[in-house]
Chain A
């Protein structure tokens, strides 16, 4: 199965997440103190690379998490950025005890922030937008597959499957709404969606992407 891989930060592409976290923790301080990547001292550049790579690896996961928990695209992006910013601050301050488990740490931060958001409890100190921009990369949408290929594969689906796929991914309708409008049960919609997505993946050769 062909895999699409995005551009990875030079010098950090094959490093384990835990090693990236350790590098950030070892450098401490803000990345700006060491100057922009490539211009400042060697360690400062490496830290910037490590921070950028760690953010790149987790942004998409965090946005998916945010969508699932908060139900809003904007809120999901804000949550991803706030989570990464807080994670970097904790790493720089040496407050992450097990850097090799940085994924679990990031998830924990995200859950905490999502919980606070949902419950409208105590607000975090406002995060400067300039800081957000500095440390967390904008999440670029995935490169769409060539339209002709997508169209050809959609055409191979039964009409109901095609409708469910389009209403899910384009109209962004939940199963219940699709079921009501098409006279199906919600469970039936989910089964149709599972089967149709599996067929589309096979037809389009979509496997694992750069996370």
Chain B
């Protein structure tokens, strides 16, 4: 494991599993025995805790751009995060906007079946300048419980875009070869 300070002999992975409550009985007890006699390892655990708390703090302030699952949205709702959600089926175009404090949520709903190696291609059409720009492709994961690709963005970032149209396409590998699903179109007004 990289970055392991020599002062703490407990494996970082074990400390992390312990922190999230997923270390099994005997190993958890061994880690505890050491933690309560070693300031260095207790400090390392505190560092992991701070890292996790910082990630949660960013998420609570709608500062995350990521591909998530419905559990993430449920937590944001419990935290009172203002969400602006758009759910699109393939071929649909939806008008959209956002506020600077919002979490901007895009839910691409389709039959993703057992597609593997999913990726997302996007294209930005700047309606003020008439320019079309392909955006970098990215891997995506599907919330298999919902059958959706769920994307979240900070409203503050989305609001910075001009009047524009975003065209999204999901692609993946199926039993019969490459498959493309879409387009999903967002008609954006800042």
Please choose the segment from A46-54, A89-97, A177-185 that sits at the chain B interface, where 4 or more of its residues have CB less than 8 A away: A177-185
- Please, what's the 1-or-0 string for B117-160, where 1 marks a CB less than 8 Å from any CB in chain A? 00000000000000000000011111111000000000000000
Number of interface residues of B (CB under 8 A): 64
Q: Do A107 and B43 touch across chains, with their CB atoms under 8 A apart? A: no
- Please, what's the 1-or-0 string for A59-74, where 1 marks a CB less than 8 Å from any CB in chain B? 0110011011001000
Q: How far is the CA of A104 from the CA of B128 in the complex (A)?
A: 68
Q: Do B75 and A207 touch across chains, with their CB atoms under 8 A apart? A: no
Contacts of A183 in B (CB 8 A): 141-142, 144
Q: Known: A167-B68, A171-B74. Is A181-B145 also a contact (CB below 8 A)? A: yes
- Please, what's the 1-or-0 string for B66-102, where 1 marks a CB less than 8 Å from any CB in chain A? 1111111011000000000000000000000000000
Contacts of A121 in B (CB 8 A): none
Q: How far is the CA of A193 from the CA of B49 in the complex (A)?
A: 14
CB of A130 within 8 A of chain B? no
Q: Do B54 and A145 touch across chains, with their CB atoms under 8 A apart? A: yes
Chain A: interface size category? 35 or more
Give the contacting residue for B54; candidates A57, A58, A150; CB below 8 A: A150
CB of B175 within 8 A of chain A? no
Q: Do A194 and B43 touch across chains, with their CB atoms under 8 A apart? A: no
Q: Known: A61-B45, A68-B28, A209-B46. Is A197-B17 also a contact (CB below 8 A)? A: no
Q: How far is the CA of A167 from the CA of B35 in the complex (A)?
A: 26
Q: How far is the CA of A76 from the CA of B21 in the complex (A)?
A: 12
Question: Which residues of B (19-42) have their CB < 8 Å from a CB of A?
Answer: 19-23, 28, 32-33, 35-37, 39-40, 42
New contact pairs (13) apart from A172-B75, A182-B141, A211-B45, CB-CB < 8 Å? A1-B3, A60-B45, A68-B21, A68-B23, A101-B37, A141-B53, A154-B55, A167-B68, A167-B72, A168-B52, A207-B5, A208-B40, A208-B47
Residues of B near any A CB (own CB < 8 A): 1-3, 5, 7-8, 12-13, 16-23, 28, 32-33, 35-37, 39-40, 42-61, 63-72, 74-75, 138-145
